[in-house]
């Protein structure tokens, strides 16, 4: 990829646009980014997108900001990271600066409530769509460990509300142990 | 000036200690903004949370802008927002460097291979929480109390997304407009 003005502008415009529609928490930006950067622009591969999400999730701060830092860095280096962070923080910055002057009217507006109500149903569909695609990818790997980790992580976070950081650390440890034992098995096999 | 510095420092702490995203940051924001510095009253804080839910963007960035604007205008908003992303910049850069430097290592492959299914599970869990909010308004899950229009909108939107690969943003705008339309009718 040529790192010229066009690339940085595209990066800024994309992150600005995505951030303006990230309602309902940081995870909503993941399906949006996947659609844009994996499927439309082909800048990033699906697996890499998941790795980036894991990094964004395990770092402190807002997931959307963290994800845009790492995508920007990947696409356009340090400058790319700053450009995409700017794109991500500007929409909420502008919207909140304006709204903070008349927020009671905004909060009590029935039209805004109706818009949000409809959008929430849309967000459910958007997340369901990306979960189906990603889970399909995991199941197709035909690795029992991956499916077990996926189910275990879901139960831990949804039913037991275990802090996400602990879940990520536990999975990382499991992954590390699996990779080490797999290596030893192969070595044992070579000896025989 | 001291006010701007105080703002900056308060939001650096919010950025640094809110791990896990979204609502994990709320108690921290409350502690810094309401209890320690008294920049917002508790009822203003509740308003802030409501508005943050109704507007796009991370809640930490929304609070930074809201608190910054209300106590020190646009410079306040800029300083607070910058404060909240400083820890992210430092830590994500470090992790990104480690990731790209060592991603081909066998052990790193093992770790990443285990993290990918976790990410899918986390997204699914967040989605299910939003689903409960959309279909049952955050209350108890029961058949009588189901918001049938929301269910129909969500299922149709899901179908459109799977079948036509429509852009998620178009789908979200469309469902938002349907919400307004149904209200006006």
DSSP A104-138: HHHHH-HHHHHHHHHHHHHHHHHHHHHHHHHHHHH
Residue B56 has pLDDT above 90, yes or no: no
B169-183 pLDDT per residue, tens: 899 999 999 999 999
Mean pLDDT, chain B, as a whole number?
A: 88
ipTM of the complex: 0.85
Task: List chain A residues with CB under 8 Å of B62.
Answer: 92, 96
Q: How far is residue B135's CA from residue B141's CA, in Å, rounded to a whole number?
A: 8
Classified as helix, coil or strand, A158 is helix
pLDDT at res. A192: 45
pLDDT at res. B24: 66
Q: Output phi, psi for B128, to 5 deg.
A: -65, -35
Name the pTM for this structure.
0.85
Q: Which of A31, A113, A179 sits opposite B109 (nearest CB)?
A: A179
Identify how many contiguous H helices and E strands chain A contains and give both numbers: 8, 0
Interface test with A, best of B24, B97, B122 (most A CBs within 10 A): B122
- CA A98 to chain centroid: 28
- Nearest of B154, B160, B158 to residue B176 by alpha carbon: B154
Q: Which residue blocks in chain B are alpha helix, DSSP H?
A: 2-17, 26-30, 42-54, 59-102, 106-136, 148-164, 168-184
A3-25 pLDDT per residue, tens: 889 999 999 999 999 999 888 66
Q: Which stretches of chain A score pLDDT less than 50? A: 191-192
B71-124 pLDDT per residue, tens: 999 999 999 999 999 999 999 999 998 998 998 888 888 998 999 899 899 889
Q: How far is residue A65's CA from residue B73's CA, in Å, rounded to a whole number?
A: 23
For chain A, the domains span 5-101
Whether B96 sits inside 8 A of A74 (CB atoms) is yes
In angstroms, what separates the C-alpha of B36 from chain A's closest C-alpha? 20
Task: List chain A residues with CB under 8 Å of B81.
Answer: 89, 93
What count of CB pairs under 8 Å joins A to B?
369
Classified as helix, coil or strand, B56 is coil
Q: Within an 8 Å CB–CB cutoff, is residue B138 touching chain A? A: no
For chain B, the domains span 2-102, 104-141, 147-185
What is the residue whose two structure tokens read 């291979």?
A: B113
Q: How far is residue A98's CA from residue A94's CA, in Å, rounded to a whole number?
A: 6
Query: Kindly report the CA angle at B121 between B115 and B122, in degrees rounded to 5?
Result: 90
What is the residue whose two structure tokens read 């690969």?
A: B165
Q: How far is residue B174's CA from residue B77's CA, in Å, rounded to a whole number?
A: 32
Q: Which of A56, A96, A164 sits opposite B65 (nearest CB)?
A: A96
Q: How far is residue A191's CA from residue B53's CA, in Å, rounded to a whole number?
A: 60
């Amino acid at each position: 990829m040529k790192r010229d003005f066009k690339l940085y502008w595209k990066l800024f415009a994309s992150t600005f646009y995505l951030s303006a529609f990230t309602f309902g928490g940081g995870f909503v930006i993941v399906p949006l980014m996947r659609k844009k950067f994996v499927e439309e622009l082909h800048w990033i591969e699906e697996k890499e997108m998941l790795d980036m999400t894991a990094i964004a999730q395990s770092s402190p701060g807002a997931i959307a900001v963290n994800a845009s830092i790492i995508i920007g860095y990947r696409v356009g280096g340090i400058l790319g990271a700053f450009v995409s962070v700017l794109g991500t923080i500007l929409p909420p910055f502008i919207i909140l600066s304006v709204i903070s002057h008349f927020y009671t009217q905004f909060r009590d507006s029935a039209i805004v409530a109706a818009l949000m109500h409809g959008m929430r149903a849309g967000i459910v569909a958007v997340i369901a769509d990306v979960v189906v695609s990603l889970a399909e990818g995991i199941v197709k790997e035909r690795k029992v460990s991956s499916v077990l980790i996926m189910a275990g992580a879901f139960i831990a976070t949804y039913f037991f509300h275990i802090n996400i950081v602990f879940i990520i650390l536990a999975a990382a440890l499991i992954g590390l142990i699996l990779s080490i034992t797999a290596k030893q098995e192969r070595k044992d096999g070579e000896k025989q | 000036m001291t006010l701007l510095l105080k703002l900056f420092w308060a939001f650096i702490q919010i950025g640094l200690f809110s791990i896990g995203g979204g609502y994990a940051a709320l108690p921290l924001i409350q502690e810094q903004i309401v209890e320690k510095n008294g920049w917002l009253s508790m009822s203003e804080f509740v308003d802030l949370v409501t508005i943050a839910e109704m507007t796009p963007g991370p809640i930490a960035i929304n609070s930074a802008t809201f608190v910054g604007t209300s106590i020190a205008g646009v410079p306040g908003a800029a300083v607070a927002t910058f404060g909240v992303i400083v820890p992210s910049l430092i830590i994500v850069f470090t992790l990104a460097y480690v990731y790209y430097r060592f991603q081909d290592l066998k052990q790193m492959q093992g770790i990443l291979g285990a993290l990918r299914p976790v990410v899918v599970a986390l997204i699914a869990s967040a989605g299910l929480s939003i689903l409960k909010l959309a279909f049952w308004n955050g209350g108890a899950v029961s058949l009588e109390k189901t918001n049938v229009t929301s269910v129909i909108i969500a299922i149709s939107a899901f179908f459109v997304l799977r079948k036509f690969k429509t852009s998620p943003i178009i789908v979200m705008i469309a469902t938002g407009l349907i919400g307004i339309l149904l209200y006006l009718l």
